[in-house]
Amino acid sequence: MAQRKHVQRVNDNHRGEQSLEHLRDRLREFAAARDWNQFHSPKNLAIALSVEAGELLEHFQWLSDQESLTLPDDKREKIKEELADVLLYLIRLADVLNVDLIKSADTKIEANAQQYPVDKSRGSAKKYTEL
């Protein structure tokens, strides 16, 4: 249930797709002003995204599940920064590849719903091929 509360908080911001477009446009301007588009190949952006995801993961390394749910404020602030880095590189990579993240995410959720029907997957961590 704790996870559901966190998801609800994300949705309460009422930002949705407009927010992604706004961030995409800001990232375009940021990169163009610095002449960084030359470095923003899909390969380089995917690597940067992976590095940032690794930096995020590092904050959880060796924590118990309970510790990861009750992080001190200073640790949460660092995690917020890493989450932002991951999001920004994801948005930039999707932009360079001309991928609509919202549409792709919706499509993926639908595919997951087919692969993990509630009656077979509820309460199970098994992969869809094992259900």
Residue 52: which pLDDT band, with cuts at 50, 70 and 90?
very high
> Cα separation of 103 and 96, whole Å?
16
Q: Phi/psi of residue 63, each to 5°? A: -85, 150
3-state class of 46 per DSSP?
A: helix
**Is pLDDT of 1 > 50?**
no
Q: Which two tokens stand for residue 44?
A: 């380089």
Q: What are the extents of the domains in the chain?
A: 42-120
Question: Residues 19-28: pLDDT tens digits?
Answer: 899 999 999 9
Q: What is the pLDDT of residue 99?
A: 98
Q: What is the pLDDT of residue 15?
A: 54
For the domain made up of 42-120, give the CATH fold. Answer: Helix Hairpins (1.10.287)
Question: Residues 54-95: pLDDT tens digits?
Answer: 999 999 999 999 999 999 999 999 999 999 999 999 999 999
Q: Which long-range contacts (CB under 8 A, 24 or more apart) does 111-119 make?
A: none
**Is pLDDT of 117 > 50?**
yes
**76-85 burial, b if ≥16 CB within 10 A, otherwise e?**
eeebeebeeb
